[in-house]
Amino acid sequence: MNFGWKWIVKPIGEYFMLPTFKVIHGVIPNYGIAIILFALLMKVLLYPLGKGQMESARKMQLVAPLLNEVRMRYPDDMQKQQQETMKVYSEYGINPAGGCLPLLLQMPFLYALYAVLNLNIELRQQGFLPVWLTDLSIPDVIFALPFKLPLVNIDQFSGLALLMGATMFIQQKQAISDPRQKAMVYMMPLMLTLMFSSLPSGLNLYYFVFNVVA
């Protein structure tokens, strides 16, 4: 299996994630349940990083009315807006980049996870539910268009990808309060839903559970 970047991602995937996943599956024979338990375990382990990101987002929500007042007070003076915004951040002890570092630290784990669940040959023809998710190694297509969407080149949609996109929309709605970033509330879930519709259902099951817990 190609786990990705040799010095960071590969050790995480090869020596931690894959063995851990195999241990869970050794106790729980159903791969779908094993993925759910694996997602819960990873959420617990990554909680310290996610907590910092959530706290930063919460602080930004709380000062959002003050930042809106600054923008209304100096609508044509961007330099003054910036100065007053930094004053608000300083007064309330907010680091504008406080949510970025925890997210960056989580990225190697997410890349390694993608390799473990996307490339694991043992997931082939392994089902979770008798009617839906009968093969965790392929997308769980619930409907298809008679044409491919331009730009993204997709004509099939995954049920789990749609659920994952819905949970991400709820997260974005809760976290983003800046009116200038409102487009992100809709754009990110939509883009990831389209991207993940072509990924194996086992991987989408993990991200869906991870988002629900979050």
- The model's pLDDT over 93-119, given as tens digits with 9 standing for 90+, comes to 777 666 566 566 667 777 777 777 766
* Top-confidence residue, 67 or 53: 67
Q: How far apart, in whole angstroms, are the C-alpha atoms of residue 71 and residue 78?
A: 9
Q: What is the pLDDT of residue 104?
A: 67
- The model's pLDDT over 60-88, given as tens digits with 9 standing for 90+, comes to 778 888 888 888 888 877 888 888 888 88
Q: What band does 195 get if pLDDT is binned at 50, 70 and 90?
A: confident
Residue-by-residue DSSP string for 40-88 = HHHHHHTHHHHHHHHHHHHHHHHTHHHHHHHHHHSTT-HHHHHHHHHHH
Taking the complete model, does pTM exceed 0.75, yes or no? no
